Amino acid sequence: MDESQLSDRQRQVLEAIRRLKQENDMPPTLREIAEAVGLKSVASAKYQIDQLKNMGWLDQIDNVSRGISFSDQGSRHQQEQEAAAESNVHIGKFVRVPLVGRIAAGGPILAEQNIDEWMTLPESLVGKGDIFLLKVKGDSMIDAAICEDDMVAVRIQKTAENGDIVAALLDDSATVKTFKQRDGHTWLLPRNSNYEPILGDEAQIMGKVVAVLRSL
């Protein structure tokens, strides 16, 4: 199993074990892992460790405080990550950003079940804050250089200013449009003359588009 198939929490636990082992030159205890990941109890850390053991990522010596270690599979993956890090030059800060699929109205945008995959992007491109990616459907924003199958980086915020390009939720359907308030109403404006403005009084603003990503 590739690490990208693990849950976000499971990846955090593996990263914490790697970091703590490197910092202290010894395997971490369950309590140290819990504190590093922000888990409320040692029992929560043990549950995550047990899951990772069952998946083949970790080994553990029973009744030994610092008995957690990477299995052969986990060690190979760690070596591959270290080799990749050494072979690439990283300049500046990078952030892990989720690509979000279907979103339900009223639900948390970044709920684990909504996330299709994670991507690592430079902070200089997407900026600070809580960022997620959406894949664009249709050509209603083509005059704003946002095309079908582009991915837009969206900074989560509930409000917007006139002229902002936003991601909004209408009837469980995410749309990317230009935000406009006029005469007591909210409008979601396309940037393609073939489409009509959408009355957005009932729309939920999910955030402001801060970057566009496109594969050639």
Catalytic residues: 140, 177
DSSP 3-state of 199: strand
Q: Is 57 exposed, middle or buried (0-12, 13-18, 19+ CB in 10 A)?
A: buried
* H or E segment and range at residue 169: strand 165-170
User: How many Å apart are CA 103 and CA 114, to the nearest integer?
Assistant: 6
User: How many Å apart are CA 150 and CA 17, to the nearest integer?
Assistant: 36
User: How many Å apart are CA 169 and CA 51, to the nearest integer?
Assistant: 35
Instruction: Compute the Cα dihedral for 136, 139, 142, 148 and give only its sign.
Output: positive
Is the Cβ–Cβ distance between 26 and 42 less than 8 Å? no
The residues that bridge with 165 in the sheet, in sequence order, are 178
Residue 139: C-alpha distances to residues 29, 79, 121, 150, 172 (Å): 53, 43, 25, 10, 20
